[in-house]
Structure 1
Amino acid sequence: MMTGTSASSPSYQSEQIEALLAKSGWAGAQRRHLAGDASLRTFETVAEGGRNAVLMRWPFTGNQVPDAVRSYMTRVHLAQDCRSVLAIGQELRAHGFRAPEVFAADIEAGLILSEDLGRTTLVEHGRPVEERYHAAAKLLARLHGEAWPEVVKISGNTSYQVPVYTSEALIAEASLFLDWYYPELAGEAAPQEVRTEFEALWKKALSSIRSAETGWVLRDFHSPNLLWQPAAAEADRIGLIDFQDTVIGPVAYDAASLFLDARTDISVELESALRNAYVACRVDQNANFDVTSFDRAYGVMALQRITKILGIFVRLARRDNKPGYLGHLPRMQGYLQRVLDSGAVPDLKEWYLRYAR
């Protein structure tokens, strides 16, 4: 037993990292902090002898995550240990998708050392590169044409159950709008009657797409997590990362994530072109692909994601002291208006016109 340090202390985790690197042939590697995402995870680049890797540190142990945060993660099925990364990545690679190869992992310590797929995304100089987005749309169609398991066996007796993206989880996510964005606009907490109406309308909207196609939803299928591989063959030109929160739900959700990318401006024309490219691929896979059902689900999922992200960006700015996320709000507000104007969500449109301005 170790003495003088706790299992959650930085010094203890550093010892675990060094042990993992030594055991996997990366002893003495140079480590540098890598700018992470909006989650609680942290990342480092690891370099040794001309090789490069990425070390993910998953600090969701002990008392490091407040009870309220962990409760929310549970409600919306966010992964709470690194088994999800191993399981989802393993299955993606088995189906021929470019997910980072795992070099070493310590599940108990929350550490994964994996292939470094670079930093080039679908965006250059702040603008979407259409060729890359079309490749991503086709890849997404290919992913949605596959059959995916509910349980993934990782190794030995270790397995991972892919959660179901329930209506309760989708509404809880959308309610971040009420928790954070509404007060930002109104200067006061959302009244209970506003919240009650919001939840009732969302239950009805989600019920209306109950028959929509479901499958694996990677959940953040957008430019920061789609890494362009210029030297790769066409099928491998996009590397997939940040898929740990994969759920089983309406596949149109990931289409909305890509076609209305939260991190760059997607024009109406590009959104339409990407939708058409995706649908054409799905029809090629299956002549009976239900385009009408997809479009209906796309409208609802697009509104849900936009609603959620408006709340998340304000939360990141106000609670987590990351004010840069406020710069994305005008884009999301524009997307919100676009979806409302499309007529895809008529029952919700009036509510948003009243409370989202």
Structure 2
Amino acid sequence: MSDLRPLAPDVSPRRYYRGERAGRSYILMTYPDFDETARANLQSFLKVRGWLYDNEVRVPEIIEARESEGLVLLEDLGSTSLRAAMESGVEVREAYLGAGEVLRHLKSCAPPVDLPAYKGSRIDLKHADVLRFYAPSLRGCESESALFEDYAQAWAEIEHGLPTCPQGFIHGDYHLENIMWLGHGPALERLALIDFQEALQGPLPYDLVNLLEDARADVPEDVQTGVKEMYCAGMDMDERAAFDAWYRVLGTQFHCRVIGLFIKLEQDGRAQYGVHIPRLKAYIARALREPLLAPLKRFFDDAGITF
């Protein structure tokens, strides 16, 4: 490849470059610090990409992979994420319905048997970042260990009373920047997935609430409702009740994790993440009005943590 041009970095350990080879544009994915963690991340990327491809989900073609060096040459899917497509005129409902249809397809696919479990994963445990980074920004001091214990107890009380959550493949970072727009047509043809290397086997509502309660954009209420109804079509009353309860729990945990992450990134000099904090606060404040989350509301009230 020649004339490599760096693409905008995200919060991941990977770096991406666009270049040309034999007159065709490609993406080079690299790991600047190719340690054991990065090696496992790359192996997961390759494994999950293969599984998605086998299940008829559009993903980048692998042109060449040098696993020992942490280098992968990928098909260039272009620069039009689903968010960019909406900014260029693609109708909001069409965009979100398409993304929801991909998730509806994925929930019918048996996940890889060796996919890591959501329970105990970084995504699962990091929602306590609301105490690590957000709470100190309000209280002016670090959160003491007892506060973390009370927070965990509040969530344990909530989850103890819930029905079993439906399980399956979850992307883990399912938002508009990780869904590429390839043109019009059926959802599985016009949309492609990227950044799926942290996929897990876990609670199905997670990806849907990640999509619809977007940390970076406001999604119209009617669009949220329409996509959720499409996704849940065919569920019986008990299945729907379980899905809705876990949707709220997982959504609130997601926002608690991301508000902590964005506060930390802002403190580290990445001011662009700070503009999303009011939206995340609003998501959490609205969720805390639901009776299901009463133990969490009591915890935040007692701790003097407001949203």
For normalisation by structure 2, the TM-score amounts to: 0.90
Alpha-carbon shift at residue 206 of structure 1 (Å): 3.6
Aligned to 1:41: 14
Aligned to 2:70: 110
* Contact 1:88–1:246 under 8 Å retained in 2: yes
* Contact 2:101–2:187 under 8 Å retained in 1: no
Aligned to 2:79: 119
Alpha-carbon shift at residue 235 of structure 1 (Å): 2.4
Q: Larger Rg: 1 or 2? A: 1
1:228 to 178, 181, 188: 181
Distance 2:62 2:237 in 1: 38
1:292 to 219, 224, 241: 241
Distance 1:43 1:309 in 2: 23
Gaps of 5+ in 2: none
Counterparts of 1:175-194 in structure 2, within 5 Å, are 175-194=128-147
Q: Which amino acid aligns with 2:113?
A: E
Alpha-carbon shift at residue 352 of structure 1 (Å): 3.4
Q: Structure 1 pair 136/273, CA: closer, same or farther in 2 (3 Å)?
A: same
Counterparts of 1:115-194 in structure 2, within 5 Å, are 115-123=75-83, 124-125=86-87, 129-151=92-114, 162-167=115-120, 169=122, 172-194=125-147
Alpha-carbon shift at residue 300 of structure 1 (Å): 0.6
**3-state SS of paired residue (2:17):** strand
**3-state SS of paired residue (1:93):** helix
**3-state SS of paired residue (1:82):** helix
Alpha-carbon shift at residue 33 of structure 1 (Å): 0.3
* Contact 1:54–1:115 under 8 Å retained in 2: yes
Query: Which segment drifts farther, 216-225 or 50-59?
Result: 50-59
**3-state SS of paired residue (1:227):** strand
**3-state SS of paired residue (2:147):** helix
Spell out, residue by residue over 1:296-341, the C-alpha distance to the aligned partner (whole angstroms, 9 max, x if none): 110110011000000111111223x212101111111121122223
2:250 to 286, 301, 305: 301
Aligned to 2:26: 53
For normalisation by structure 1, the TM-score amounts to: 0.78
Superposition RMSD on alpha carbons, in Å? 2.4
**3-state SS of paired residue (2:69):** coil
Spell out, residue by residue over 1:223-249, the C-alpha distance to the aligned partner (whole angstroms, 9 max, x if none): 110111115544211110111111111
Aligned to 1:339: 287
Q: Structure 1 pair 256/79, CA: closer, same or farther in 2 (3 Å)?
A: farther
Question: Structure 1 segments of 4 or more deviating over 6 A?
Answer: 286-289
* Count of matched residue pairs: 302
Query: Which segment drifts farther, 43-52 or 327-336?
Result: 43-52
Percent identity, please. Answer: 27
Matched, 1:94 2:54: yes
Matched, 1:348 2:301: no
Distance 1:305 1:136 in 2: 19
Aligned to 1:250: 203
Alpha-carbon shift at residue 210 of structure 1 (Å): 6.3
Q: Which amino acid aligns with 1:315?
A: K
Gaps of 5+ in 1: 1-27, 71-77, 152-161
Q: Structure 1 pair 289/242, CA: closer, same or farther in 2 (3 Å)?
A: farther
Name the structure where helix makes up a greater proportion of residues: 2
Matched, 1:31 2:4: yes
Query: Which segment drifts farther, 217-226 or 262-271?
Result: 262-271
Distance 1:205 1:163 in 2: 24
